[in-house]
């Protein structure tokens, strides 16, 4: 069909006219909600700081993504990275705190000098508040490697007449995790020395749910146990005021999810976890915006991204489950390439290839438990 150019010109004018009307009518401030940005990972050895919403920031590049709540009460971190770039993480947090203080500093009165001088405290810059809490979403090294160093730069939140005593004892930040994280971390791997006590969780929970007993930086913070995700000790962390969820290893935007069946992880547990996250998240419009989520690895996501990832995993799981039911061997399953259509997007990570993922899924679905069939003679 041939469309007369006149119609395009007319349509163009209509759009321009309408836009002008909208511009005139728009009296409210534009939305300040942050939408999932398409980002490149920071260069190796660098930390990238992304504001998410409210007091919540993501620090990328130090291993697993670190989420930080920065504000009047100090700093709460979700995950600690591998530990190699901890000095840069601490520097980035101090910078965020300075910026926060600059934005929230009480204005000098500039008058009423008879009762209160505004000169005396004009040049006093408050020192950065300590790191008070570190939450570990799992026991894997890229999430807990920075525990010890970060803990020792912080102090637990105390008040009243115990504050001075605690300050003397130089106690570090509290490290919060599911108790299975503590169990796994305190078991020294064979032939290696036990991890230092300061690297271990100080506060653990063993129910489905754990919450900070009071607001931190103006909001409630809740941990939800994901019993069979990457391991048996995974948590997601929900910042209830900012409406931000830290997903831990339930999701990685550049690869298939990593999980370790030997440590209680499973593909079905990861899919269950993603479904629980989607139940918790509320979108702004259709599947876009609203609750923002930070996967353990990769970029910031919203419900649409999580639902797509969940669907992808469900499809691959169903294909492999079918092959397991048919008693196919691992080699046969790999040869059938059940993730072929998703490999270009998720199968390129050198440390976690498509084959490694397929093998983990196969094992977690009970594949290979029945003895292989006798080879038929042709």
Pattern 108-147, Zn ion, x by CB under 5 A: ----------------------------------x-----
- Supply 128's token pair: 């950065």
Residue 243 interacting with Zn ion (CB under 5 A): no
Contact segment (CB under 5 A) with Zn ion among 22-30, 169-177, 183-191, 244-252 equals 244-252
Q: How far is CA 376 from the centre of its chain?
A: 49
Nearest one of 106, 81, 103 to 92, comparing CA atoms = 81
Count of CB atoms within 10 A of residue 376's CB? Answer: 5
- State the minimum distance, in angstroms, from the CB of residue 231 to Zn ion: 10
By beta-carbon proximity to Zn ion, the closer residue of 71 and 295 is 295
- State the minimum distance, in angstroms, from the CB of residue 235 to Zn ion: 13
Three-state SS at 6: helix
By beta-carbon proximity to Zn ion, the closer residue of 255 and 321 is 255
By beta-carbon proximity to Zn ion, the closer residue of 249 and 260 is 249
Alpha-carbon distance 69 to 101, whole Å? 14
Q: How far is CA 45 from the centre of its chain?
A: 20
- State the minimum distance, in angstroms, from the CB of residue 316 to Zn ion: 19
Distances (CA, A) of 135 to 130, 151, 200: 15, 11, 11
Three-state SS at 244: strand
Nearest one of 197, 183, 66 to 133, comparing CA atoms = 66
b/e for 86-119, b at 16 or more Cβ within 10 A?
Answer: bebbbebbbebbeebbeeeeeeeeeeeeeeeeee
Contact segment (CB under 5 A) with Zn ion among 99-107, 217-225, 247-255, 310-318 equals 247-255
- State the minimum distance, in angstroms, from the CB of residue 138 to Zn ion: 7
Q: Which of 54, 296, 338, 367 binds Zn ion (CB under 5 A)?
A: 296
- State the minimum distance, in angstroms, from the CB of residue 81 to Zn ion: 10
- State the minimum distance, in angstroms, from the CB of residue 226 to Zn ion: 13
- State the minimum distance, in angstroms, from the CB of residue 89 to Zn ion: 16
Give, as ranges, the residues between 27 and 66 that touch Zn ion (CB under 5 A): 64
Contact 47, 60 (CB under 8 A): yes
Q: Which of 148, 234, 249, 305 binds Zn ion (CB under 5 A)?
A: 249
By beta-carbon proximity to Zn ion, the closer residue of 142 and 260 is 142
Sign of CA dihedral 266, 269, 275, 281: negative
Q: In which residue are the tokens 């591998």 written? A: 82
By beta-carbon proximity to Zn ion, the closer residue of 63 and 338 is 63
Residues that bind Zn ion (CB under 5 A): 64, 142, 249, 296
């Amino acid at each position: 069909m041939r469309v007369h150019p006149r119609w395009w010109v007319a349509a163009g004018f209509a759009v321009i006219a309408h836009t002008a009307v909208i511009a005139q009518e728009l009296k409210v401030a534009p939305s300040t909600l942050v939408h999932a940005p398409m980002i490149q990972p920071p260069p190796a050895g660098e930390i990238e700081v992304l504001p998410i919403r409210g007091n919540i920031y993501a620090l990328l590049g130090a291993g697993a993504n670190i989420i930080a709540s920065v504000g009047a009460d100090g700093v709460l971190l979700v995950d600690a990275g591998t530990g190699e770039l901890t000095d840069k993480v601490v520097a980035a947090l101090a910078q965020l705190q300075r910026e926060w203080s600059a934005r929230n500093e009480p204005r000098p009165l500039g008058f009423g000098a008879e009762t209160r001088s505004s000169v005396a405290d004009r040049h006093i810059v408050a020192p950065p508040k300590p790191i008070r809490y570190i939450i570990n979403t799992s026991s894997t090294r890229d999430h807990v490697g920075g525990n010890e160093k970060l803990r020792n730069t912080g102090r637990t939140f105390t008040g009243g007449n115990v504050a001075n005593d605690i300050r003397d004892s130089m106690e570090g930040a509290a490290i919060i995790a599911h108790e299975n994280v503590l169990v796994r971390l305190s078991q020294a791997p064979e032939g290696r020395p036990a991890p230092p006590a300061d690297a271990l969780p100080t506060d653990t929970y063993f129910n489905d749910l754990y919450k900070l007993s009071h607001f931190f930086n103006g909001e409630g913070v809740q941990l939800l146990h994901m019993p069979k995700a990457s391991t048996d000790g995974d948590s997601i962390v929900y910042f209830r005021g900012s409406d931000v969820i830290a997903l831990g290893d339930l999701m990685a935007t550049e690869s298939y999810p990593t999980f370790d069946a030997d440590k209680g992880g499973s593909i079905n547990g990861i899919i269950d976890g993603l479904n629980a996250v989607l139940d918790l998240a509320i979108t702004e419009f259709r599947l876009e915006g609203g609750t923002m989520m930070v996967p353990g690895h990769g970029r910031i996501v919203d419900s649409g991204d999580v639902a797509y990832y969940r669907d992808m995993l469900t499809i691959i799981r169903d294909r492999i489950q079918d092959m397991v039911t048919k008693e196919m061997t691992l080699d046969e399953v790999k040869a059938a390439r059940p993730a072929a259509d998703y490999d270009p997007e998720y199968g390129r990570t050198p440390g976690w290839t498509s084959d490694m993922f397929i093998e983990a899924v196969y094992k977690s679905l009970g594949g290979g438990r029945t003895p292989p069939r006798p080879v038929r003679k042709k």
